Amino acid sequence: MNASLPQSAWQSLPENFSALQFPVMTQRRPLTGNTATVSVSSDAGVLHARVLLNCYAREVAMQEHQLAVRSVASTRSLPPALRHYTGQVLDIQIPRLQSRICVGVRHVSVTGNYDYTTEIFLQDQQQVWRVAGWDVIAGIIIRDLSQREGTPFNQDLQQQITESVATMQHLLNAQADRQKPGQQSALSGYIASEQNLLTGHPFHPTPKSRSGWSRAEQQQYSPEHGASLQLRYFSVPADWIISDSLDGKDTAVHLQQLTAHGLQAEEGRVVLPLHPWQADWMLKQTRIAEAIAAGEIRDLGCHGQHFAPTASIRTMVAEDATAFLKLSLNMRITNCIRNNARHELAAALTASRVYRQIKPLMQMLFPRFHVLEEQAYLSLSFPENRQNAARAHKEIEDGFGLVLREGLAAPMAQGITPHVCAALFGNGMAGRLQTAALIEKFSHRHGLSFRQGLQQWFQQYAELAIFPVFYLLFEKGIAFEPHMQNSIVGLAEDGAPCSFFVRDLELTRLTPKGRALLKEQFADPQAISDIHCSDDAGWTRIAYCLLVNNICEVIATLANGNHSLYLELWACLRSTLQAYLAIFPHPEAARRIQGLLSGEPLPVKGNLLIRFLKQADRKAAYFPLYHPLGVVNEISAVA
């Protein structure tokens, strides 16, 4: 495969980018065991400083045209330590503070997916250069945003960044003590992928912020520590329960079968599970203490089978992978307090009911695409709140909320090995080494060079992910959230992508076209209202989650600092989008895709700014993100 840029585009690139001496992912022996033991860095501060720079570059510097990537020879007033550097330099101006940041990067990245190769250097108002650690970078970013927005310095964000760095360092240090497993089953390999996200979201200012957990609780409950835990059970009056299920079956019966807790509910009562930390939190709440004192709620202790926490921390996978259980945690993890609000539970089930109507069609058109259904939910309502819309104890009631989700046992039984996408892409060196091993295996099996195998591997992944998700949006009006943590790739025995799964449906939205799929019996009017969105909002959701948060990270991981390969993968993506249009020439699809191929930007979510402004996640702004699709040549499909 050969992809090239028009002459005008070449002229706009730094003059010596092709002189970079960084190899493609080179041939190496296949990895064995859990790649969580691969060292990505011993210094969380370095990693976190780069994450903060990622956020600031995309959301602020790019938008204000204060960013450039240049050769050393073309960069003015370099830090002394970079004067003999042979790579490219990311140069960010901060005019509000009369400051400047320079750092070495492996190649140009229009989308801001930089590979950093040096320490970060900050030039202050006196034109003096110094190495800037994460705390300095965090401080200058918050100060700059404070001046821009006319607001006080955000101490809360500074504290959350500090917590995130400390947690990340704790996780990295603990990796040396984790025992390397031997041969893994599909299930243990999948759980390892969920528990291998050591650095978190590469474009989030606080990727490992977990307010409220002690170090002992981190060790006990964090997926990165390989946690496995029993749930804690409570007996409550049956008339306090609010629940629904796809098949009409009692949710409590579903839960008893899944958890094997062995507890018998007395007549008129229901046994429900909580995360053990959540149970301790509940027992500290006055309303729960009163209910226990009155005998209304009974603490039954920990029982039943063990569950492994997935990347989201609060979602558990069963020992046999037959189901997931999404529990509530009344603590802030990255953005939000992670309890399950009642309207979110209803929306998740509504989304599953909507999808069921077209599931046979999707299985016929895209047999390797799967949506993990939200099969049932359960929550609690105190008697005094039944007729009270204000819900005096909403936080506590929602803290009991849970969702029962379809598991992965069936595809595993068919020989498919699932991996959460975030473990392979955007997960630092651990993800890159594991992906390289998969591609090396695939290439060897099919008699391909490593580079040929890599291109074919990416094409298969892109088609598996893009075709069904675009079809759902443009033909049916359904917009899921297929970002890295919500996407699972199924791997065949030869290491190739063979299936694609989307999970976590609570924020599914329907565009005007999709509203025809709603039925009155699906949910209450509020849940139906919440699931609506405009065509523009639906496209923004898919373009960001799938193309920016997912595909951009895949390309950056596979290119591994090689710029010519980076452009070839973008050319392959261009051809994949053209192929979709050839098969499904919907007018709206043509408008959106041809826009991208003509250079229209993608939308990127303002994760840094939403945290700085202390706003709800649903109010996040989206900014234009430019990309190479408009300047790379189309290619023939990889043979």
Identify the pLDDT of residue 69: 95
Whether the per-residue pLDDT at 529 is higher than 80: the answer is no
Identify the pLDDT of residue 305: 92
pLDDT digits 0-9 by tens, 480-491: 999 999 999 999
Mean pLDDT for the stretch of residues 225-245: 94
Q: Same structural domain for residues 564 and 477?
A: yes
* Alpha-carbon torsion angle 338, 341, 347, 350, nearest 10: 110
- In the numeric block, which tokens belong to residue 102? 């320079």
102 lies in some domain: no
Q: How many CA atoms lie within 13 A of 466 on its CB side?
A: 29
Identify the pLDDT of residue 135: 96
Mean pLDDT score of the chain, rounded to an integer? 88
Residue with tokens 């989008």: 577
Q: Is the dihedral of CA 252, 253, 256, 259 positive or negative?
A: negative
Q: Same structural domain for residues 491 and 589?
A: yes
Identify the pLDDT of residue 253: 86
Identify the pLDDT of residue 39: 33
Q: Which of 377, 406, 435 is the last residue of a domain?
A: 406
pLDDT digits 0-9 by tens, 355-391: 999 999 999 999 999 999 999 999 999 988 766 666 7
Q: Same structural domain for residues 497 and 476?
A: yes
Highest mean pLDDT among 126-140, 164-178, 607-621: 126-140
Q: Same structural domain for residues 335 and 419?
A: no
Q: Same structural domain for residues 332 and 430?
A: no
Highest mean pLDDT among 42-51, 181-190, 449-458, 627-636: 449-458
Whether the per-residue pLDDT at 24 is higher than 50: the answer is no
Mean pLDDT for the stretch of residues 80-100: 94
Q: Same structural domain for residues 442 and 297?
A: no
Whether the per-residue pLDDT at 405 is higher than 70: the answer is yes
Q: Same structural domain for residues 469 and 599?
A: yes
Structural domains in the chain (count)? 2
Neighbours of 576 (CB within 10 A): 20
Yes or no: say if 299 and 276 are a contact pair by the CB < 8 Å rule. no
**CA atoms of 86 and 337, how far apart (whole Å):** 45
283 lies in some domain: yes
CA distances from 196 to 19, 228, 272 (A): 34, 14, 29
Identify the pLDDT of residue 110: 93
3-class SS shares of the chain: helix, strand, coil, % to 5: 45, 20, 35
Higher pLDDT, 636 or 516: 516
193 lies in some domain: no
Q: Which of 388, 406, 424 is the last residue of a domain?
A: 406
Yes or no: say if 487 and 551 are a contact pair by the CB < 8 Å rule. no
Highest mean pLDDT among 321-330, 332-341, 388-397, 628-637: 321-330
Higher pLDDT, 17 or 637: 637
158 lies in some domain: no
Mean pLDDT for the stretch of residues 438-456: 96
Whether the per-residue pLDDT at 638 is higher than 70: the answer is no
Mean pLDDT for the stretch of residues 228-250: 93
**CA atoms of 471 and 473, how far apart (whole Å):** 5
Mean pLDDT for the stretch of residues 180-206: 86
109 lies in some domain: no
474: CATH: 1.10.510.40
Identify the pLDDT of residue 598: 95
Identify the pLDDT of residue 618: 82
135 lies in some domain: no
Mean pLDDT for the stretch of residues 564-587: 96
Which of 292-296, 474-478, 527-531, 560-564 is the least confident region? 527-531
- Identify the bridge partners of residue 581 per DSSP, sorted by sequence position: none
3-class state of residue 115 by DSSP: coil
**CA atoms of 486 and 495, how far apart (whole Å):** 21
Q: With bands split at pLDDT 50, 70 and 90, how would you rate the model's confidence at 552? A: very high
**CA atoms of 499 and 485, how far apart (whole Å):** 16
Identify the pLDDT of residue 461: 98
Order of strands, edge to edge, in the sheet holding 210-211? 210-211, 329-333, 336-338
Identify the pLDDT of residue 4: 32
Order of strands, edge to edge, in the sheet holding 497-502? 369-371, 497-502, 487-491, 417-420
Q: Which of 406, 433, 465 is the last residue of a domain?
A: 406
92 lies in some domain: no
Q: Is 408 left (phi over 0), alpha (psi -120 to 50) or beta?
A: alpha
Percent of the chain at pLDDT exceeding 70: 89
420 lies in some domain: yes
The closest of 301, 256, 308, 296 to 279, measured between CA atoms, is 301
Which of 10-19, 35-44, 351-360 is the least confident region? 10-19
Identify the pLDDT of residue 334: 79
**Neighbouring residues of 24: CB distance < 8 A, sequence distance ≥ 6:** 450, 451, 454, 559, 560, 562, 565
Yes or no: say if 88 and 67 are a contact pair by the CB < 8 Å rule. no
**CA atoms of 295 and 234, how far apart (whole Å):** 11
Whether the per-residue pLDDT at 14 is higher than 60: the answer is no
Whether the per-residue pLDDT at 27 is higher than 50: the answer is no
- Nearest-10 crossing angle of helices 276-283, 286-293: 80
Identify the pLDDT of residue 546: 98
Identify the pLDDT of residue 176: 65
Identify the pLDDT of residue 10: 28
Q: Same structural domain for residues 255 and 362?
A: yes
Q: Same structural domain for residues 427 and 288?
A: no
What is the domain extent for residue 363? Answer: 228-406
Identify the pLDDT of residue 469: 98
**CA atoms of 82 and 66, how far apart (whole Å):** 20
Percent of the chain at pLDDT exceeding 90: 71
**CA atoms of 199 and 47, how far apart (whole Å):** 8
Higher pLDDT, 175 or 404: 404
Q: Same structural domain for residues 402 and 419?
A: no
Whether the per-residue pLDDT at 133 is higher than 50: the answer is yes
Whether the per-residue pLDDT at 41 is higher than 80: the answer is no
Q: Same structural domain for residues 476 and 620?
A: yes
Identify the pLDDT of residue 273: 95
Q: Same structural domain for residues 329 and 421?
A: no
Whether the per-residue pLDDT at 157 is higher than 70: the answer is yes
Higher pLDDT, 332 or 127: 127
Q: What is the DSSP letter of 532?
A: B
Mean pLDDT for the stretch of residues 39-51: 78
CA distances from 95 to 91, 124, 552 (A): 13, 11, 29
Identify the pLDDT of residue 3: 34
Identify the pLDDT of residue 377: 95
